């Protein structure tokens, strides 16, 4: 007998029209003269809408993918047009350049590539007057808790200020199902642990009492430390106590900070309350830290990629299959080389546009990271959202054998060695690396293994390995993983 799958609903829309909604996948179709006969049945079967023995949800998603992607693309073009029309009308920076920012000129998604790129220097030169939309009262917004002044924590010459729209920092729909959290109506409680750079109103230096670090009941900014590797026991005890008091569902962290905190808590017998999941943000998540945090806290770690510069919008989220998906509901991500867009699978600079931002929209903004879009089909809930392979910052790339080597490539190679918790790799000559490694507490560490592994994987002549007790932070108090000290990073694009 031919029948629709249980989750497929047929809604009459007047006349001969009906709407078909697949509640499992979100697919919505309008059909003329709905029936289950002959050709219609074949078309419905091709879309996985009919009951079939052994048909998995993953297979249904796979069959529906082309139709959903088409719908997503037309929606996407509409979002672009709306953003550009808004920017050209309401934001001085774009209005002054309205010949270049013409919504009517966007006829297909490919036309987006003709819009100018924005760099950090553009933001620095035009903030706030040129970039904040007219009619936005920043002072009032901050007071009302809708907006926040945020600063990216670069070194002095690259420090940026932006106005964040706190409405955009929300979790993706269905995040509970995505990360296997219990379904509740309550807003998740998120504790933030990151480098102690003061960002606008949020100071993490421990100068403010608990209540002042609590934002709208649901987000707690934990105290941090100006010198991570000498964090006193009292700070760890304070963080553990506050985590318990707050009852965090999620920990949003700089992974280096949480990794060290959790390691020291284990060493000093400080019980660190467990969240349900850890979201890693703020800097590149190494395989060592991912593994160690998972083991130390006993909870899953997911990458949650964003950039403070984007005013709150998150760029990509990791699913339970370990793939990073572009948040197509918030942003558009382009991968660009010197000569324009890169094909899927090719490495390039990431240009991000937060399509929903109406406070301080940045169009085709070069965030300073490199990566690739990969054509993988993932059968998770986010299967329609493109998969992104993040490679780290463009200025952290090494130059070896005539090519550029990203942080991710170094991390992937190093992860085959056992016994490391933290590291930093500097390129000190054309074919020479210096590695500083902080060994892990439990596994044995052999510097010769690092040397052999990197020489082989990166085809490099000399690898010097120093076993160290600590690493030095950048002025931003983040911990850089790789740096080329003998050549300038490439101009991309």
Residues near Zn ion (CB under 5 A) are 319, 321, 323, 378, 380
Tell the burial category of 31 from Cβ atoms under 10 Å away from its Cβ (0-12, 13-18, 19+): middle
Cβ closer to Zn ion: 379 or 426? 379
CB of 177 to Zn ion, least distance (A): 12
CB of 381 to Zn ion, least distance (A): 7
Cβ closer to Zn ion: 385 or 422? 385
CA gap 138, 201 in Å, rounded: 13
CB of 382 to Zn ion, least distance (A): 5
Q: Is 204 left (phi over 0), alpha (psi -120 to 50) or beta?
A: alpha
Cβ closer to Zn ion: 319 or 359? 319
Could you give the dihedral angle defined by the CA atoms of residues 96, 101, 102 and 107, in that order, rounded to the nearest 10 degrees?
A: 180
Cβ closer to Zn ion: 325 or 393? 325
CA gap 60, 71 in Å, rounded: 17
Cβ closer to Zn ion: 16 or 58? 58
Cβ closer to Zn ion: 279 or 319? 319
Tell the burial category of 468 from Cβ atoms under 10 Å away from its Cβ (0-12, 13-18, 19+): middle
CB of 271 to Zn ion, least distance (A): 34
* Residue 265 Cα distances to 80, 234, 262, angstroms: 47, 11, 5
CB of 204 to Zn ion, least distance (A): 32
CB of 178 to Zn ion, least distance (A): 8
DSSP 53-89: TT--HHHHHHHHHHHHHHHHHHHHHHHHHHHHHHHHH
* Cβ neighbour number for residue 298 with a 10 Å cutoff: 8
Shortest CA distance to 68 belongs to which of 49, 87, 42, 82?
A: 49
Residues 444, 418 contacting (CB under 8 angstroms): yes
CB of 61 to Zn ion, least distance (A): 10
| Strand pairing report for 147-152 and 190-193 | unpaired
CA gap 280, 239 in Å, rounded: 18
Cβ closer to Zn ion: 287 or 321? 321
CB of 254 to Zn ion, least distance (A): 24
Cβ closer to Zn ion: 95 or 321? 321
């Amino acid at each position: 007998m031919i029948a629709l799958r249980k989750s497929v609903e047929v809604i009459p829309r007047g006349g001969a029209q009906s709407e078909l909604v697949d509640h499992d996948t979100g697919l919505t179709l309008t059909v003329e003269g709905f029936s289950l006969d002959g050709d219609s049945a074949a078309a419905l079967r091709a879309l996985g809408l009919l009951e079939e023995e052994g048909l998995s949800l993953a297979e249904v998603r796979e069959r529906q993918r082309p139709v959903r992607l088409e719908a997503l693309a037309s929606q996407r073009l509409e979002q672009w047009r709306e953003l550009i029309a808004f920017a050209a009308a309401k934001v001085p920076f774009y209005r002054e350049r309205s010949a270049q920012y013409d919504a009517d000129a966007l006829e297909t998604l490919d036309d987006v590539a003709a819009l100018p790129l924005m760099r950090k220097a553009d933001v620095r030169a035009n903030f706030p007057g040129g970039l904040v939309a007219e009619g936005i009262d920043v002072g009032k917004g901050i007071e009302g808790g809708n907006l926040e002044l945020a600063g990216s924590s670069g070194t002095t010459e690259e420090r940026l200020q932006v106005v964040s729209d706190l409405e955009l920092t929300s979790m993706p729909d269905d995040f509970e199902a995505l990360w296997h959290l219990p379904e509740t109506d309550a807003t998740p409680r998120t504790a933030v642990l990151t480098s102690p750079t003061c960002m606008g109103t949020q100071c993490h230096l421990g100068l403010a009492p608990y209540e002042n670090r609590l934002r709208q009941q649901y987000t707690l900014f934990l105290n941090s430390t100006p010198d991570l590797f000498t964090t006193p026991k009292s700070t760890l005890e304070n963080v553990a106590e506050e985590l318990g008091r707050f009852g965090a569902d999620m920990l949003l962290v700089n992974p280096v900070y949480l990794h060290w905190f959790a390691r020291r808590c284990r060493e000093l017998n400080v019980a660190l309350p467990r969240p349900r999941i850890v979201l890693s943000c703020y800097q590149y998540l190494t395989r060592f830290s991912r593994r160690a945090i998972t083991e130390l806290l006993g909870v899953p770690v997911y990458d949650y990629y964003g950039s403070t510069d984007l005013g709150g919008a998150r760029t990509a989220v990791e699913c339970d299959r370990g793939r990073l998906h572009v948040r197509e509901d918030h942003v558009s991500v382009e991968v660009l080389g010197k000569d324009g867009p890169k094909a899927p699978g090719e490495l390039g600079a990431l240009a991000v546009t937060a399509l929903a931002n109406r406070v301080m929209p940045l169009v085709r903004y070069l965030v300073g990271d490199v990566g690739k879009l990969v054509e993988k089909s993932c059968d998770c809930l986010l299967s329609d959202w493109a998969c992104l392979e993040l490679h780290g910052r463009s200025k952290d790339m090494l130059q070896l054998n005539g090519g550029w080597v990203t942080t991710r490539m170094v991390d992937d190679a190093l992860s085959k060695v056992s016994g490391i918790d933290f590291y930093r790799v500097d390129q000190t000559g054309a074919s020479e690396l210096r590695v500083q490694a902080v060994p892990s507490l439990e596994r044995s560490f052999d510097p010769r293994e690092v040397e052999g592994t990197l020489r082989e994987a990166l085809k490099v002549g000399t690898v010097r390995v120093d076993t160290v007790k600590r690493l030095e932070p950048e002025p931003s108090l983040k911990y850089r993983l790789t740096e080329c000290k003998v050549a300038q990073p490439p101009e991309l694009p």
